[in-house]
Chains A and B, each alone.
Chain A
Amino acid sequence: MPSMNMVLIFSFLLFSLGVVGVLIRRNALIILMCAELMLNAANINLIAFARHSGTVAGQAFALLVMGLAAAEVAIGLAIVVALYRRKNTITVDEIHLLKG
């Protein structure tokens, strides 16, 4: 299945992009976007393999994941806004009151 391997490689690249983004970016909004990227990498696998096997369950799964991603972003943005109100920053490195 050469084409399926290509799909896997592509989705893995997308996933890695998300992981690296979470690790190196400091802006809370960008980190949020990178986390979404990871979800979408998974979506690509789900849809491609569902198509490959000719069933619909995987595609339905991907649709639900998109809905979930929207909910996650909503909550994430709410928390980031609350954070900005308290601290006037969304740079995650400047937030380290709790440690030890």
Chain B
Amino acid sequence: MPFAQSLLESLGRDLPYLYGPLFLVFAATLMIWPGDLLVGRTNKRAWSYVAFLVLAAGGAMALYAPLGQGFSGMFRVDGLTKGFQFLSVLAGLITIVLSQPQLNALREQTVEYYALILFSTAGMMLLVGATDLVSMYFSLELMALCIYVLVAYLRHQERSVEAGMKYFMLGAFSSGILLYGISLLFAATGGLTTNLAELNEKLALATPNHTLLVFAGVLMVLVGFAFKVAAVPFHMWSPDAYEGAPTPITAFMSMAPKAAALGAFVRVFGTGFHGVSGEWMLPISFLAGASMVLGNVAALRQQSLKRLLAYSSIAHVGYMLLGVMSADAQAGGQAIWLYMLTYLLMQSGAFAILIHLQGKGEGERIDDFRGLARRRPVLAFAMLVCLLSLAGIPPLVGFFSKFYLFKLAIEQGHITLTVLALLTSAVAAFYYLNVVATMYFKEAPEGELKPMGSGLALILTVTCALILVGTLFGPKLLDWTAKITLG
């Protein structure tokens, strides 16, 4: 049986690259069946601990995976892969902790919730290592399909179901466009390959009458990615989905899939389409500019903090697209990774406070923060740190990650866009400070606030401490990032 033998050999060689995500998939499956049979209806909370441990173990496996390339060039483990895998796992772990207060309050603890987070995280871990359009597409779908369900998870709440429906419809639409784009690129190579490295060589050589085919394909792939990272004008799902989804899932969406999609974005455009970068540079710069302007301006008038964070995350994506536009994909990936890491810290801190104030998940208005400085000075201070860092005010870490990104963009010659980014980040300071002003300068409403749960408090403490400590070492961050992402 020479065939079976060679199959086994190659599996033995390649599987170690995938131990992390595969472990998550198997563990999640076992949790649903038969695991769930063994756990009583009232003890579903226990699954949160199991899921947390499983995710941590999967993350550790991915972190210790060997460096290299396998599965006929479909999957590659390098520093960048591990870096973005780390971000996705970290976001997943944070989400599991953030989910506890609301799921307990609403009595909605189920095994499926955690299994979906694990599946989705596995999808992200595969996505950031994918070096072939086929593996990229399927990991993207694995990630997205789970999140559609998670958005609609609170099926008794009208908002949640509506958000899930919108996200799903538009997601299916964009996924169709993405796949059609991939098929066009496949056609442009004469039906030979979808591997990114080979595509890069083939596309650059494409004959002139293939140019439209190549461009249409690249453009459609761009649309698919722009949708996933919510760049203008493919962003319209995100404010609605963010608002309607259960708040921990909103936090999850704003961190994990965004990190993974951006990681894949850099890899696909920086390596696969590098040779035809002349074709997509201008469209991406329009997307980036439009995202910075629209995201920040629209955030000005938001009353709901979740919507505000949704719009501001559109703006942050606009900044990160500057990294995608970098001709040096490695440097671009590093800058995005660092930005995403700091963004993740600030977002999870802000969401921890939001979730604490929300209770059962109804109120989320900026007005709910009135007088927080008087009721809970430490909480307000933590929120202040997160918001100021989000606004990129020096010397907090948010400033440094922005600084490196903008510096890279200037070095790459995107002067106009960088100036636009600077101007719009001044606008951003306005709405973040509006929240600060609400906390510090407005009269507190009546009623006592209950003490914060230990999980949320832990996350808040750690993130704020990291933001403040990172401030001291801010300037070293890029060196460390380089060390990490180079493997």
Residues of A within 8 A of B (CB): 4, 8, 11, 15, 18-19, 22, 28, 31-32, 35, 37-39, 41-46, 48-53, 55, 57-58, 61, 64-65, 68, 71-72, 75-76, 78-80, 82-83, 85-87, 92, 95, 97-100
Contacts and interface: CB of A to CB of B under 8 A. Distances in A.
Contacts of B35: none
A49 B185 CA distance: 11
A42 B168 CA distance: 20
B27 interface: no
Interface in B93-133: none
A42 B176 contact: yes
Contacts of A61: 134, 186, 194
B180 A42 contact: yes
26 contacts: A11-B180, A11-B183, A19-B173, A19-B176, A28-B169, A38-B176, A38-B180, A45-B187, A52-B190, A52-B191, A53-B191, A61-B186, A64-B138, A71-B145, A79-B161, A79-B164, A82-B152, A83-B161, A86-B161, A87-B161, A95-B162, A95-B165, A98-B159, A98-B163, A98-B166, A99-B240
A97 B159 contact: yes
Given A52-B191, A55-B192, A79-B152, 14 more contacts: A32-B169, A35-B172, A42-B183, A43-B183, A45-B180, A48-B191, A51-B191, A61-B186, A64-B138, A75-B145, A79-B148, A79-B165, A98-B244, A99-B240
A57 B194 contact: yes
A55 B243 CA distance: 46
Interface in B254-306: 302
B141 A68 contact: yes
B158 interface: yes
A24 B159 CA distance: 24
Given A76-B172, A79-B148, A83-B162, A15 B180 contact: yes
B55 to A, nearest CB: 22
Interface in B142-196: 145, 148-149, 152, 155-156, 158-159, 161-166, 168-169, 172-173, 175-177, 179-180, 182-184, 186-187, 190-194
Contacts of B172: 32, 35, 72, 76
B179 A39 contact: yes
Ranked nearest first, the 9 interchain pairs of A and B with the lowest CB-CB distance are: A38-B176, A49-B191, A53-B191, A45-B183, A42-B183, A35-B172, A98-B240, A42-B179, A42-B180
Given A97-B162, A98-B244, A75 B149 contact: yes
Nearest to A37: B176
A56 to B, nearest CB: 11
A28 B173 contact: no
A53 B152 CA distance: 43
B307 interface: yes
